[in-house]
């Protein structure tokens, strides 16, 4: 099985190379078609291997004297499913959407290579192959970000991404170096078998949190994400937001749960705190944006925060010796990762279709698109409901499981945890409520109301491949929401591997309910809720239309009797978020707005200015940049010294080193 | 023969459940009417009859619906969807009987989320109208909900830590059998009352009787609805009020509620007790609304912040005491 998976990955690389030489007319369809088929193959491997015994393979490809080893266990198989379902969707969407690319050869070679690299990260089983594929994933995605190199904002986004990605890899290199040195072996099996000192394990955990967090978008390492993800073509944005962030979460799970051995009680604290802060800040960032793809990228930060929160809870339960509770929290986290891949990909596909149909991503210039792009609108609505954690969609199931695992955490013994977990619960509840507000805005402003520009008024529906992929994604969101028990059961081997515990089998419950702990404690049945919703809604509509009235008349909107003005009299996206900006933004972003009215008699326009401050930039990156600048300027003087001074510097250094040697010796 | 008896019992329970589901809808406009009547009397007005909301609904249902020229299918579908989501949520709340047949299909968190679904669709439909008023209503509703919903989740946390369950039926059963007085439950009650006022757009958060543009929240979202669509939205609003009253009643005042099999007389008493609780809630709400002034919009976050903090404190107390 693993040989088949590796050959698929090799073929994906070959696809990338072939894309350079394919004739221009067929290159798009052939490359994306082949990627779709290979992703489907890898998806099958993942599904087949998730409950099977782990398999290993070693290839003589590593550095001299070392083999490149690959390992396919339940965790790898589950993320193989996630990566390749996302890859399959992006490839299918790309068949239609890729046709509009201005320079397809800047995308086509890197797209399959990016998919292959993400698959390799998941399968890698030694530090060398892991870091190699990790870096390959970063570089191929960087090339994809830079594909639209003529846009003004692409170059800074690409530069920042490259900087953060190399920093992240550097940190991971350090973490794996420490592990390999202590275990005197580079294989994951050797590392996992070696007991580490608490200090070393703690240092590696924090480094892993930094390294994988910078790729996943944990606050305050998220700064590149809202810039780089939207710069790529939309199906690549979907892959980066929906899938690559999950590969980073896979890496954290791999290090924290399998390589480092039993966790200490406080390990979960940084994970929970960062996760909670990231969840709330991510959605607040999204509420401030008006670029549709940037809204989606910021909401990815929020969801990554939620997943890390679940992972942190699982770590806490595992450290406290409660494998069943840890299994529940981990299931919530992995399920949310899976759900987020589904709805975020669908949303990015929708954003791509809208951007192509109207030529803009600024939601202030859109409106009423659901009437001209009905299928895109329907898929976007369903995915928005799902990401807002509303029943009967899948986002609600994973957040519900997470709430359930918070509710069993008074078991945790340490007082610190007892105080932290309720606070984290508030952050999670806030993030969920704000996400609903955010996606109401992201859906309603571009798709509902009246068109705010000519481009929006004359938009046409996307092609069949694109709409088909979006509707399939939305349907999967609903399907998992209706029948979550099967997915939860599918994750049982994963939780058994990572925590030693399993959730109860769900598929055997009557009516396919999900019962995380016991029936008297909590249960949820998306299917029955959906049937009730459908029955209540259609029954009422039928009765009203049959027995009361069915006449309908189209007339100008009433609007309290004011004559309807132009489309710009509608509420704007910025206006819609103004109360939230005032309530939450005043404190966190120092957001304020000022109105400058011209003096009486002056006929110039009044000006409304909004100011806000991003805490990550203001308190971390800007001081860091200033410090680098100041150091460079100071050191710059060294470049313009006389030969005499250089000689004395060399002499002084030599003396210092000799003294140091004398003291140590 | 026993299978037949079992089936008969199942059917009996189903009938009881359906009765309860229909009952909340039937009683909802009456509750709104009673509050309006009480408020009118307190203002020394005669006021319309308690039955006026029923007459309004009948009149609205018979009229043709007028929708904006630029609106999409969402405007036409939203009234039924909002009503259905609110109705399903209300059907999961015990009124006079804790043993709801389908209570396992959703817990208190699901009820909160179903109300969130209704709110999302209502606000989306308001924006679809393409007027400034729809947007103003949606914007304010979203701001209030972004604090009220977390507060509600914290109340759910507090209550389910006390009762050891998030299933509302089991929770009502535990509360009815007595858990004693606790500080965290008092905090949860206060928090829940504030949330209920906010979610039902009552004074001091919003004035349901206002038609002054600058102060409207909920009404602004319904401005352009007419005929049967408006009737469904109004009915959903009344139903949400009944839902919150039933929720508070079944948790904090579970007197007379039927928790186990007994003679039919118990059921009758339970129904009467439930109606009495609804009436008492109407009177209390009317008096409270007459005694308070509406808040400025940007004062509301402070009030809801108090609700959120009370919920958090209640949860925190239970976490520290380590009780499950």
Task: Name the β-bridge partners of B65.
Answer: A552
Q: What is the pLDDT of residue A51?
A: 86
Q: Looking at the predicted structure, is the pLDDT value of residue A441 above 60?
A: yes
Instruction: Give residue limits of the domains in chain A.
Output: 341-544, 574-597+605-613, 619-664
Contact B319/A422, CB-based, under 8 Å? yes
Smallest CA–CA separation between B284 and chain A, in Å? 29
A434 touches chain B (CB under 8 A): yes
**Which of A440, A528, A552 has its CB closest to that of B124?**
A440
The ipTM is 0.95
Q: Which of residues 462-501 of A touch B (CB under 8 A)?
A: none
A156 touches chain B (CB under 8 A): no
Pick the residue of A328, A544, A554, A574 with the most B CBs within 10 A to test the interface with B by mutation. Answer: A544
pLDDT digits (tens, 9 = 90+) for A56-115: 888 888 777 777 899 999 999 999 999 999 999 999 999 999 888 888 888 999 999 999
pLDDT digits (tens, 9 = 90+) for A285-328: 999 999 999 999 999 999 999 999 999 999 999 998 889 999 99
Helices (H), A217-322: 225-231, 234-238, 245-253, 268-288, 292-319
Which tokens is B232 given?
């469904």
Searching chain A, which residue's CA lies closest to the CA of residue B145? A433
Confidence of residue A529 (pLDDT cuts 50, 70, 90): very high
Q: What is the pLDDT of residue A308?
A: 96
- Identify the three-state secondary structure at position A70: strand
Burial classification of residue B118, based on how many CB atoms lie within 10 Å of its CB (0-12 exposed, 13-18 middle, 19 or more buried): buried
CB atoms within 10 A of CB A185: 17
pLDDT digits (tens, 9 = 90+) for B117-154: 999 999 999 999 988 888 999 999 999 999 999 999 99
Q: Looking at the predicted structure, is the pLDDT value of residue B315 above 50?
A: yes
Contacts of A425 in chain B (CB under 8 A): 153-154, 157, 315
Contact A403/B153, CB-based, under 8 Å? yes
Size of interface A-B (CB pairs under 8 A): 288
pLDDT digits (tens, 9 = 90+) for A135-179: 999 999 999 999 988 888 899 999 999 999 999 999 999 999 999
The bridge status of strand A607-611 relative to strand A68-72 is: unpaired
Contacts of B88 in chain A (CB under 8 A): 529, 532-533, 536
Give percent of chain A with pLDDT exceeding 70: 100
Q: Looking at the predicted structure, is the pLDDT value of residue A348 above 50?
A: yes
Contact A553/B135, CB-based, under 8 Å? no
Q: What is the pLDDT of residue A480?
A: 94
Contact at 8 Å (CB) between A305 and A478? no
Searching chain A, which residue's CA lies closest to the CA of residue B221? A559
**Which of B147, B165, B213 has its CB closest to that of A560?**
B213
DSSP state of A614: -
Q: What is the pLDDT of residue B322?
A: 61
Give the integer Cα–Cα distance in Å for B172 and B270: 14
Task: Enter the pTM of the model.
Answer: 0.94
Task: Name the β-bridge partners of A524.
Answer: A514
- Identify the three-state secondary structure at position A303: helix
Rounded to an integer, the average pLDDT of A456-478 is 94
Searching chain B, which residue's CA lies closest to the CA of residue A564? B131
**Which of B69, B135, B213 has its CB closest to that of A555?**
B69
């Amino acid at each position: 099985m693993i040989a088949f998976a590796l050959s698929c990955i090799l073929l994906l690389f070959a696809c990338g190379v072939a894309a350079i030489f394919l004739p221009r007319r067929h290159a798009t369809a052939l490359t994306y078609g082949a990627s779709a088929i290979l992703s489907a193959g890898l998806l099958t491997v993942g599904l087949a291997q998730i409950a099977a015994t782990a398999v290993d393979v070693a290839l003589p490809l590593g550095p001299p004297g070392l083999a490149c080893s690959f390992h396919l266990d339940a965790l790898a198989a589950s993320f193989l499913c996630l990566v390749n379902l996302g890859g399959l969707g992006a490839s299918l969407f790309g068949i239609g959407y890729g046709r509009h690319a201005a320079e397809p050869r800047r995308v086509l070679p890197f797209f399959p290579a990016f998919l292959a690299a993400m698959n390799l990260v998941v399968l890698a089983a030694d530090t060398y192959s892991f870091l190699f594929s990790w870096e390959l994933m970063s570089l191929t995605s960087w090339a994809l970000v830079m594909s639209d190199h003529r846009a003004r904002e692409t170059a800074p986004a690409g530069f920042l991404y490259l900087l953060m990605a190399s920093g992240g890899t550097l940190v991971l290199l350090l973490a794996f170096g420490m592990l390999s040195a202590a275990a005197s072996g580079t294989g994951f099996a050797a590392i996992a078998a070696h007991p580490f000192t608490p200090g070393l394990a703690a240092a590696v955990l924090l480094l892993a949190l930094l390294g994988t967090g910078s790729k996943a978008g944990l606050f305050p390492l998220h700064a590149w994400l809202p810039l780089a993800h939207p710069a790529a073509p939309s199906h690549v944005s979907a892959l980066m937001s929906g899938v690559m962030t999950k590969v980073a979460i896979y890496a954290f799970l791999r290090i924290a749960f399998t390589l480092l051995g039993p966790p200490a009680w406080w390990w979960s604290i940084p994970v929970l705190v960062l996760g909670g802060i990231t969840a709330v800040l991510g959605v607040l960032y999204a509420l401030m944006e008006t670029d549709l793809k940037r809204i989606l990228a910021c909401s990815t930060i929020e969801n990554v925060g939620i997943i890390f929160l679940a992972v942190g809870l699982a770590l806490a339960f595992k450290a406290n010796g409660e494998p069943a509770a840890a299994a529940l929290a981990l299931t919530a986290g992995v399920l949310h990762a899976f759900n987020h891949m589904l709805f975020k990909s669908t949303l990015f596909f929708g954003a791509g279709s809208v951007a192509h149909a109207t030529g803009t991503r600024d939601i202030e210039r859109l409106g009423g698109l659901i009437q001209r792009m009905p299928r895109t609108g329907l898929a976007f609505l369903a995915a928005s409901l799902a990401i807002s954690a509303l029943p009967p969609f899948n986002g609600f199931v994973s957040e519900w499981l997470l709430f359930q695992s918070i509710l069993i955490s008074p078991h945790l013994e340490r007082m610190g945890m007892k105080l932290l977990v309720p606070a984290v619960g508030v952050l999670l509840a806030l993030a969920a409520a704000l996400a609903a507000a955010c996606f109401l805005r992201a859906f309603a402003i571009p798709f509902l109301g009246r068109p705010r520009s000519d481009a929006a008024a004359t938009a046409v529906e996307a092609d069949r491949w694109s709409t088909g992929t979006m509707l399939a994604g939305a349907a999967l969101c609903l399907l998992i929401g209706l029948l979550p028990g099967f997915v939860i059961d599918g994750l049982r081997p994963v939780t058994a591997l990572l925590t030693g515990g399993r959730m109860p089998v769900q598929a055997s419950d009557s009516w396919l309910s999900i019962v995380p702990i016991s029936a008297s404690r909590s249960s949820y049945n998306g299917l029955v809720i959906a049937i009730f919703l459908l029955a209540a809604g259609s029954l009422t509509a039928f009765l009203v239309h049959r027995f009361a009235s069915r006449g309908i008349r189209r007339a100008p909107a009433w609007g309290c009797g004011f004559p309807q003005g132009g489309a710009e009299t509608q509420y704007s996206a910025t206006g819609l978020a103004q109360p939230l900006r005032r309530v939450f933004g005043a404190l966190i972003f120092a957001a304020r707005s000022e109105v400058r009215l011209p003096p009486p008699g002056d006929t110039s326009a009044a000006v409304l200015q909004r100011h806000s401050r991003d805490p990550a930039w203001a308190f971390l990156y800007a001081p860091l940049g200033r410090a680098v600048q100041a150091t460079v300027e100071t050191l710059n003087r060294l470049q313009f010294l006389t030969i005499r001074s250089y000689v004395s510097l060399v002499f002084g250094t030599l003396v210092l080193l000799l003294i140091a040697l004398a003291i140590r010796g | 023969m026993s299978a037949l008896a079992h089936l008969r019992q199942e059917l009996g329970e189903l009938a009881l459940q359906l009765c309860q589901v229909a009952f909340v809808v039937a009683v909802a406009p009456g509750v709104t009417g009673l509050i309006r009547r009480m408020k009118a009397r307190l203002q020394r007005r005669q006021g319309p009859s308690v039955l006026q909301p029923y007459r309004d609904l009948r009149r609205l249902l018979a009229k043709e619906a007028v929708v904006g020229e630029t609106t999409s299918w969402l405007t036409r579908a939203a009234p039924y969807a909002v009503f259905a989501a609110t109705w399903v949520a209300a059907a999961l709340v015990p009124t006079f009987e804790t043993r709801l047949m389908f209570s396992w299909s959703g817990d208190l968190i699901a009820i909160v989320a179903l109300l969130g679904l209704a709110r999302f669709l209502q606000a989306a439909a308001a924006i679809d109208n393409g007027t400034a008023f729809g947007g103003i209503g949606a914007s304010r509703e979203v701001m209030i909900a972004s604090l009220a919903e977390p507060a509600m989740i914290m109340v759910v946390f507090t209550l389910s830590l006390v009762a050891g369950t998030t299933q509302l039926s089991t929770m009502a059963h535990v509360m009815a059998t007595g858990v004693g007085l606790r500080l965290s439950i008092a905090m949860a009650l206060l928090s829940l009352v504030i949330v209920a006022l906010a979610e039902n757009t009552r004074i001091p958060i919003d004035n349901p009787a206002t038609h002054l543009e600058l102060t409207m929240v909920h009404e602004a979202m319904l401005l352009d609805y007419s005929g049967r669509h408006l009737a469904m939205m109004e009915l959903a609003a009344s139903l949400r009020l009944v839902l919150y009253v039933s929720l508070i009643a079944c948790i904090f005042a579970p007197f007379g509620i039927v928790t186990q099999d007994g003679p039919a007389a118990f059921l009758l008493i339970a129904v009467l007790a439930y109606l009495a609780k609804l009436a008492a809630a109407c009177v209390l709400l009317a008096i409270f609304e007459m005694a308070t002034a509406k808040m400025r919009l940007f004062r509301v976050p402070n009030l809801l912040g108090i609700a959120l903090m009370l919920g958090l404190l209640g949860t925190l107390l239970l976490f520290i005491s380590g009780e499950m």
